[in-house]
Amino acid sequence: MKYYTFCESDKLNPDQCLVWGSGLDPEVVLPVRYFYIQAVNSAGKNFTYSPGKDSFQVRISSLTPGEHIRIHVPQPLDRADGSFLMRYRLYGSAPKGLKVEVFHKDQPVGQSPYILKGPVYHEYCDCPEADPSAWLSTMACPTQEPQILKDFSSFPSIDLQRLLQEVPRRFAQRGGLIHYTILNNKIYRRALGKYTDFKMFSDEMLLSLARKVRLPDIEFYINVGDWPMETRKVNDTPGPVPIISWCGSTDTRDIILPTYDITHSTLETLRGVSNDLLSVQGNTGPPWVNKTEQAFFRGRDSREERLHLVTLSRKNPELLDAGITGYFFFREKEKELGKAPLVGFFNFFKYKFQVNVDGTVAAYRFPYLMLGDSVVLKQASPYYEHFYAHLQPGRHYVPVKRSLSDLIDKIKWAKKNDAEAQAIAREGQTLARELLQPTRLYCYYYTVLQMYAERQTSRPTVHKDMELVPQPSDHTALCKCEREMQRDGPTLKKDEF
């Protein structure tokens, strides 16, 4: 174990601590609001290690005397680097606003209390900002996303009539395809294909986005299956069509959105999921110096290289601990390779090195691994998620050949070059924290819809076989929208579809 010797300058100074983030802005409406606390010592220097997981306490209340609003306020997450992540979830709106108090041993921290002037809307409050540019500014959305620009370079214009004729014929029998139209900020859809249950994730996200900002009128298709669909190249005749998918590949032209897993994680934080992109930041295992010097992998048998990991592990047990937790694709291999017991995800970070190997497509565990403070050894892959374009091999993760033929050598390198491996882990973690935070997810979704809408050559249509996807009704958390709603065009009646 590593111990620290404390002196006067190691004492936490509440007055100099920093508190910041979107969760202190009443205009930023998210399923779970969040902000950050940076511990600062009496010498004015930021802590770079944990001053103690219970260093800060947060209290959030309504500005209206006597008004009770249900708010889930857990303990701040200790990110073990001197910073803390505070999350809270509103189950009712605060018309006059909220008071956020941050304490260290009953002493106010930073500029506490922080006053959020109302109205402060809860997640299910259907009160969209009518001016998208104002919303983009409030959310601090980036002006460009490299993956979005690359995806749309294949589609300078989008002919909706062509899509209506071609997309169902080419793709409806290949899994799950959802045809959406958004008109006057209402969402309509029809399901095409046999496996469309995962539409619940796209439905939820589009509804959540529409409650926050007025969406452009748009008609598009989302692939809710694993594999990207459009294999045509730009110079083919006919050319590719814009299918929106959760995963991209070097062999396809799909437009990429954040995966259903990332989306669900963001929508259900502090409610329906235990491992989410925020909670993982406070559960990254022991400090680097106390982590086990092995590479670690657990997962299903969804790719043959994962089976090879088990063989490598048996030959090099001091370097690699790998096991298959469930067999579906290669059941005949279970007797030979054995079945490993499940390991809680947060326990992965007891190990310094994490092996990331594709599943059926990109391994959707990768963003969670990047948020830990272990270094990720990532298999080369033709598949990618929406944020990969920002990552640099050798800087944010350690690249490994697709065959895994150099994996053992890369693990040996990481063990021999401990400081450099730790630096890669930290830089990857820092970038992942920025790219995978909830505000960036919403920005990404909106920017894709906006860019798509700008390329449409005709007006979107609500087709007769489409159904309205209604906003959820939450009678326990009434919302009085104080924003002026801008409505362009008449409200459609059912018989006008």
In this structure, which topology does domain 288-425 adopt according to CATH? Rossmann fold (3.40.50)
Residue spans per domain, the chain: 8-123, 146-266+439-496, 288-425
Average pLDDT over residues 27-50: 97
Distance CA 428, CA 376 (A): 9
How confident is the model at residue 9, as a pLDDT?
A: 58
CA distance linking residue 185 with residue 172, whole number of Å: 26
Name the amino acid, one letter, at 290: N
Residue 488 has pLDDT above 90, yes or no: no
Please say whether the structural domain 8-123 has been given the CATH code 2.60.40.10: yes
The pLDDT of residue 477 is 64
Higher model confidence: residue 2 or residue 264?
264
Average pLDDT score over residue span 32-41: 98
DSSP output for 39-77: -BBTTSPBPSS-S-TTS-EEEEEESSTT----EE-PPPE
Report cis status (omega within 30 of 0) of the bond before 113: yes
- The tally of CA atoms less than 13 A away on the side-chain side of residue 311 is 9
pLDDT at 490 over 50: no
CB 21 within 8 A of CB 32: no
Q: Is 23 exposed, middle or buried (0-12, 13-18, 19+ CB in 10 A)?
A: buried
Which tens digits make up the pLDDT trace of 271-320?
977 889 999 999 999 999 999 999 999 999 999 999 999 999 999 999 99
Pairing label, strands 83-90, 18-20: unpaired
Give the chain's mean pLDDT: 93
pLDDT exceeds cutoff 60 at 492: no
Q: Name residue 62's beta-bridge partners.
A: 98
Identify the band that residue 487 occupies on the pLDDT scale cut at 50, 70 and 90. very low
Minimum mean pLDDT range among 90-94, 149-153, 427-431: 90-94
Convert the pLDDT of each residue in 320-351 to its tens digit.
999 999 999 999 999 999 999 999 999 999 99
What is the residue type of 485?
Answer: M
Q: What mean pLDDT comes out for the span 121-128?
A: 94
**Among 229, 104, 216, 224, residue whose Cα is nearest residue 171:** 229
**Residue 485 confidence (pLDDT) above 50:** no
Which pLDDT band holds residue 476 (cuts at 50, 70, 90)?
low
pLDDT at 484: 46
Question: Which 8-state DSSP code applies to residue 358?
Answer: -
Cα separation of 350 and 295, whole Å? Answer: 10
pLDDT at 49: 95
Q: With cut-offs at 50, 70 and 90, classify the pLDDT of residue 489.
A: very low
The pLDDT, as a whole number, for residue 481 is 82
- How much of the chain, in percent, has pLDDT values that exceed 90? 89
Q: What is the CA radius of gyration of the chain?
A: 24
pLDDT tens-digit series, residues 40-75:
999 999 999 999 999 999 999 999 988 889 999 999
* Residues whose CB falls within 8 Å of the CB of residue 222, separated by 6 or more in sequence, listed in order: 177, 178, 180, 199, 202, 243, 244, 245, 257
448: part of which helix (H) or strand (E)?
helix 438-455
